[in-house]
Amino acid sequence: MIGRLKGVLIAKQPPWIVVDVGGVGYELEAPMSTFYDLPELGRDVTLCTHYAVREDTVALYGFLRESERSLFRSVQKVSGIGAKTALAVLSGSSVDEFARLVQVGDIAALTRIPGIGKKTAERIVVELRDRVDGLVGGAASGAFGELPKDPVSEASIALQSLGYKPAEVSRLVRDASAPGDSAEDIIRKALKAALR
């Protein structure tokens, strides 16, 4: 099993990227959420990976954040959803936004994600509603603690540890964050807003 890759980014053409690790080029499929944040070609990159073996193929998927990989795996546990749709979920919304849509049962918004119809959206809400709490804010990067964390994820984790509910954390962080803010800035503004 390949759980993580650290190497030089040598090619990127959606949805494919190639990472050179010690002279071996690993070809990975990645969601757009990862593509947007990839470094320039020739720069170092560290990816969480998901290794999938099927009857006729072997595939490797790459994610910059552990929360994305967790969502990718969780979504595929829903009956009728495969890797292609799971990648579409991550390409069409952030982890926090997807979790919020599932928590509030927003079927209409979920059906706007490519590959998800009304019945599939209803199954997602029913099967994932209790599991998405752990995904909000990119919770628990686990063994990948050295992976870069974005300020929004760090702020979300901190607010949840203070006892705020996941749906409330998503709203607070969304309203409080601005481009260039550090996690501390977002937390400070979110706490002020929560106390109003």
CATH number at residue 111: 1.10.150.20
User: Looking at 95-109, 139-153, 179-193, which range is the least confident one?
Assistant: 139-153
Query: Is the pTM here over 0.95, yes or no?
Result: no
- Is residue 139 domain-resident? no
pLDDT digits (tens, 9 = 90+) for 51-72: 998 888 899 999 999 999 999 9
- Confidence category of residue 161, pLDDT binned at 50, 70, 90: low
Tell me what the mean pLDDT of segment 165-186 comes to.
84
Same domain? 52 vs 74: no
Contacts of 139 (CB under 8 A, 6+ apart): 67, 156, 157, 160
Structural domain count, the chain: 3
pLDDT digits (tens, 9 = 90+) for 15-38: 899 999 999 999 999 988 898 889
- Is residue 20 domain-resident? yes
Q: Indicate whether 111 pLDDT > 50.
A: yes
Same domain? 39 vs 96: no
- Is residue 91 domain-resident? yes
Same domain? 75 vs 49: no
Instruction: Give the Å distances, CA to CA, from 107 to 2, 114, 117, 123.
Output: 34, 13, 9, 10
Same domain? 59 vs 76: no
CA 186 to chain centre: 19
- Is residue 83 domain-resident? yes
Q: What is the structure's pLDDT at 134?
A: 62
pLDDT digits (tens, 9 = 90+) for 70-84: 999 999 988 888 888
> What SS3 state is found at 166?
helix
How many angstroms separate the CA atoms of 99 and 137, rounded?
Answer: 9
Same domain? 35 vs 82: no
Bridge partners (DSSP) of residue 16 are: 13, 29
Helices (H), 10-150: 32-35, 66-76, 83-92, 95-104, 107-110, 118-128
How many angstroms separate the CA atoms of 103 and 129, rounded?
Answer: 6
Q: What is the structure's pLDDT at 27?
A: 95
Same domain? 58 vs 70: no
Average pLDDT of the residues of the chain: 83
Domain holding 124, by residue range, is 66-134
How many angstroms separate the CA atoms of 123 and 136, rounded?
Answer: 19
